[in-house]
């Protein structure tokens, strides 16, 4: 008689040191939430550069080489490599090579670091919880600040304009919903308070791209509503959407309606969105492979207006797809699209897998994992929609959203949440520290750290 097959145990959940979790969460507060600009007293400390350096050191020390290799082997990772390579290759042929080089090494490195840290940090669901919680608190406070802001379009700090501020609010709405549905105690109240604060913040920015992003996000949220809680989830989404529409002021309503008025400046003037998009398509047709160089769209606009005999403005692309295609060429643009749609795809695979598992055995961890993946999808999708009207092709928040989707895939695939019993940790063993060419062994939690404790995070 053949012995019954013994199911293979589920691997131990990944656990990063708390110092790494706090460091990465603080870095995202700076790189995404602009906390050092919201609080003026922090600006002289140059926390942006300091946070990037400390986080890069911590990432090199604690992130595993095997996980980094797995990240680069995903479709978003390969797309990012292709886009970055062409960002470098197009420098010599760009409209202003020095400006493209400076942007790549002095600005764009931050987005690459955000992508890497988001993907690898989200593999540890406890670290992910800290990051999401702090970001939602930050956006809640920013939304509250917008209520008391003076008249005009609200902006976070000095580096986010009104449109980028709206994108940040829209991106964080799904994570507020995640806290509301999965957490208990005060984190749940944070999620509940953050949702209306984000919606108010979007209205205060007066951004049409942000408003249209919220409108596009609502049916996607309804489609991804979790089983067993579909009714309350859909009701909350619809009530939030209706509340946003009813609370729109005259300025926001006017700006949104003007988006479809063919007599508005975006349709009729030289620097309106329609004319800029037409010129952007012309730049793509003129240089389909080499592009105009990273961050070169505005300089190309200036070059096209030099002989007009009057003052001109350096116009942005107002569309991240035209922006990237014109600057990096069609091959680099293909990598950019692979990064975005690959992120949606792999997060969707995790969501479908966990949905089936939850429907089969009602595993609460499978439900949380399913909701994490769904919210990562919605967050990325919202930015892909607002990107039709905004130049956010190299924005850190976009790379964070793609990295978050990759983190769901890598963590779920490597550690098989809910796929079987979790063995007890072997006493006395600790994670291996140090890099020595990057460690490849999986860290083993300290004694007393069980999977039941992890599942509560």
Query: Is residue 95's pLDDT more than 70?
Result: yes
Buried b (16+ CB within 10 A) or exposed e, 93-128: bbbbeebbbebbeeebebbbbbbbbbbbbbbbbbbb
Are the CB atoms for 31 and 396 separated by under 8 Å? yes
Nearest to 407 by CA among 119, 69, 116: 119
Nearest to 367 by CA among 292, 455, 294, 297: 455
Q: Model's pTM, two decimal places?
A: 0.83
Q: What is the mean pLDDT of residues 21-48?
A: 76
Do residues 331 and 86 lie in contact, with contact meaning Cβ atoms separated by under 8 Å? yes
Q: Residue 112 and residue 396: Cα distance in Å, rounded?
A: 8
The whole-number pLDDT of residue 446 equals 46
pLDDT for 262 beyond 80: no
Is pLDDT of 46 > 70? no
Q: Mean pLDDT in the chain? A: 79
Q: For the chain, what percent of residues have pLDDT higher than 70? A: 73
**Local structure of 91: helix, strand or coil:** coil
Average pLDDT over residues 151-168: 81
- Our measurement of the distance from residue 169's CA atom to the centroid of its chain's CA atoms, rounded to an integer in Å, reads 11
Residue 65 vs residue 451, higher pLDDT: 65
Is the model's pLDDT at 120 over the cut of 70? yes
Query: What per-residue confidence (pLDDT) applies to 306?
Result: 62
Higher pLDDT, residue 330 or 21: 330
177-192 pLDDT tens trace: 889 888 888 998 998 8
| Residue 59 predicted with pLDDT over 50 | yes
Q: What is the pLDDT of residues 317-355, one digit of tens each?
A: 889 999 999 999 999 999 999 999 999 999 999 999 888
pLDDT, residue 275, reads 85
Question: What pLDDT, in 10s, does the model give residues 399-435?
Answer: 999 999 999 999 887 555 534 333 344 444 444 444 4
3-state class (DSSP) for residue 350: helix
Q: What six digits make up the tokens of 252?
A: 């926001």
């Amino acid at each position: 008689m053949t012995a019954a097959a013994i199911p293979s145990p589920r691997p131990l959940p990944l656990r990063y040191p708390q110092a790494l979790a706090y460091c990465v969460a603080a870095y995202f507060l700076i790189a995404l939430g602009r906390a050092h600009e919201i609080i003026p007293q922090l600006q002289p400390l140059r926390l942006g550069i300091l946070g990037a350096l400390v986080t890069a050191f911590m990432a090199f020390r604690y992130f595993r080489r095997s996980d980094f290799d797995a990240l680069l082997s995903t479709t978003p990772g390969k797309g990012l490599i292709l886009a970055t390579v062409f960002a470098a290759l197009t420098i010599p042929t760009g409209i202003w090579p020095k400006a493209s080089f400076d942007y790549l090494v002095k600005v764009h490195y931050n987005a690459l670091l955000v992508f890497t840290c988001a993907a690898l940090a989200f593999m540890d669901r406890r670290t992910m919880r800290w990051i999401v919680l702090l970001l939602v608190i930050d956006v809640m406070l920013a939304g509250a600040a917008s209520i008391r802001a003076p008249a005009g379009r609200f902006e976070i700090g000095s580096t986010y304009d009104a449109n980028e501020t709206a994108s940040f609010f829209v991106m964080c709405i799904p994570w507020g919903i995640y806290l509301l549905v999965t957490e208990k105690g005060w984190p749940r109240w944070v999620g509940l308070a953050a949702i209306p604060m984000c919606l108010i913040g979007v209205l205060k920015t007066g951004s049409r791209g942000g408003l249209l992003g919220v409108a596009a996000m609502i049916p996607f949220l309804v489609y991804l509503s979790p089983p067993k809680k579909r009714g309350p989830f859909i009701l909350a989404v619809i009530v939030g959407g209706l509340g946003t529409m009813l609370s729109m002021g005259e300025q926001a309503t006017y700006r949104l309606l003007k988006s479809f008025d063919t007599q508005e400046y975006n349709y009729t003037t030289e620097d309106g969105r329609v004319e800029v998009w037409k010129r952007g398509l012309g730049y793509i047709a003129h240089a389909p492979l080499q592009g105009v160089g990273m961050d070169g769209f505005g300089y190309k606009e200036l070059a096209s207006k030099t002989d007009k005999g009057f003052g001109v403005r350096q116009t942005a692309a107002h569309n991240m797809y035209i922006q990237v295609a014109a600057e990096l060429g069609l091959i680099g643009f293909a990598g950019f699209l692979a990064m975005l749609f690959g992120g949606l795809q792999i997060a969707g695979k995790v969501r479908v897998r966990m949905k089936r598992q939850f429907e089969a055995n009602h595993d609460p961890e499978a439900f949380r994992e399913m909701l994490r993946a769904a919210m990562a999808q919605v967050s990325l999708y919202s930015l892909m929609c607002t990107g039709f009207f905004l130049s956010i092709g190299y924005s850190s928040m976009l790379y964070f959203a793609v990295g978050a989707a990759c983190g769901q895939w890598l963590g779920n695939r490597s550690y098989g949440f809910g796929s079987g019993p979790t063995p007890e940790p072997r006493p006395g063993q600790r994670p291996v520290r140090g890099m020595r060419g990057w460690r490849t062994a999986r860290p083993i939690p300290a004694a007393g750290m069980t999977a039941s404790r992890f599942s509560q995070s």
